[in-house]
Amino acid sequence: MAKKKQNLLVVIGSPRRGGNSAALADRLAKSAAAAGAAVEALFLQELDIKPCTACEACRAKRARGCIIRDGMQPLYAKIKAADAIVVASPVYWFSLSAQTKLFMDRWYALGGGNDYRGLRGKRFALLLAYADADAFSSGAVNALHTFQDAIGYLGGTIAGMVYGSAAKAGEIRARKDLMQQAAELGRRLAAPE
């Protein structure tokens, strides 16, 4: 019996296409695709995603998801169809980038009845880049905890996290250790559980 091809959604929360978290995401995506996964990568900066307004319309009895008509709407179907979701973000001001956090905030609409069926049981991965040499002083620890707490609450599984320091855009490509970790994570995500 043929193995099911894994569907990976790689979401990049950096405003810079040549940024460090984008470089990690590129390495992971190429490795996963080479290992046989169907991979779609997208930059949140290029989408018009508005913040959650806490209107609770997605929790109404006959709700059909979020009522905000913006760039997030097509992502809901992609999230539901994905076997694994990879979130790549720089650390900005001691946590995830605004683009990343906005995307994650809008997952609230997938939790009708608070069961988050669209996310429960999925595999998640985090790619994180920060300028300071230390994960604590940079705020990377805050970003890691935010991600871990959110995925735990949703009932997902964290398949892996790759994070490290690189200041200038693209500089992380010289960090062979981190690029190798991203490639290995991509291969793991390409394999069915």
The residue behind tokens 């709700």 is 63
- Residue range of the domain that includes 186: 7-48+66-190
Domain count, the chain: 1
Q: How many CB atoms lie within 10 A of CB 52?
A: 17
Please check whether residue 56 lies inside any domain of the structure. no
Please check whether residue 57 lies inside any domain of the structure. no
Question: Over its length of 193 residues, how does the chain's per-residue pLDDT go in tens digits?
Answer: 567 899 999 999 999 999 999 999 999 999 999 999 999 999 999 999 999 999 999 888 888 889 999 999 999 999 999 999 999 999 999 999 999 999 999 999 987 666 677 788 899 999 999 998 888 888 899 999 999 999 999 999 999 999 999 989 999 999 999 999 999 999 999 998 7
Residues 6+ away with beta carbon under 8 Å from 30: 183, 186
Do 31 and 186 contact (CB within 8 A), yes or no?
yes
Cα–Cα distance for residue pair 11/88, rounded to 1 Å: 6
Q: What would the two tokens of residue 179 be?
A: 């690029």
Q: What is the CATH number of the domain that holds 132?
A: 3.40.50.360
Please check whether residue 58 lies inside any domain of the structure. no
Please check whether residue 142 lies inside any domain of the structure. yes
Predicted model pTM = 0.94
